[in-house]
Structure 1
Amino acid sequence: MNVFLWILQGLLAAAFLAAGTMKATQPKEKLAGPMPWVNDFPAATVKFIGATQIAAALGLILPAVTGIAVILTPLAAVGLGLIMVLAGIYHARKGEPFIVNIVILVLAGVVAWGRFGPYPL
């Protein structure tokens, strides 16, 4: 199970590092094509969302690898879950599909459960 959790952490970290970097570094106008939701938010909010995703991605891996403040790893998973809940609410209100948000929420929840519970670092 520990290997499975590491794989989940790695996949989530890679996905959110890429997505967060794109949101934090690209102008809002460039993001509007593939992510039309950015038109509903100020540019600073989009950058903030990107920064939180980068922080969560780093939090999933770095504390576990270094052995420093390992409690941050499950907390990062909880943070990603919160991001997915908020994104899911937004998409549901817009009448858009939010199944991806639910899947990522479940994956982050598994990491949080495993690292807080029976498979701590």
Structure 2
Amino acid sequence: MDNNNFLKQLLLIGVGTTTIMADKIKEASDEWVKEGRIDPEEANKFINDLTSKLKGEQENLEFLIQRQIRYVMQDIGVARQSELDELRGRLDRLEHQVRALENQSWRGAKRSS
């Protein structure tokens, strides 16, 4: 299994785990409301607080995984988009210079004939 695929799977596991935890928290709070252990407003606040914390942790996990993917791709020699763009620009300039030199050479050959 390649590292990029493995890291993507980790990210999906993190998202799935967060979703499952949010669902379980909602179920538990609904049960507590039914049992009268907590009022609906408190339950909603509890759910919102925990969901916010889970999302924050998920964002942190996503950031860490993305950073790790960049490191792995850099280690195996995959070029970044900015590097490819720079190379394309250099190639375009070189092609333009070659055409200009060919045109000069063609004009010079035409004059000397």
Structure 2-normalised TM-score?
0.36
Quick one: higher RCO (CA 8 Å, sep 6+), 1 or 2? 2
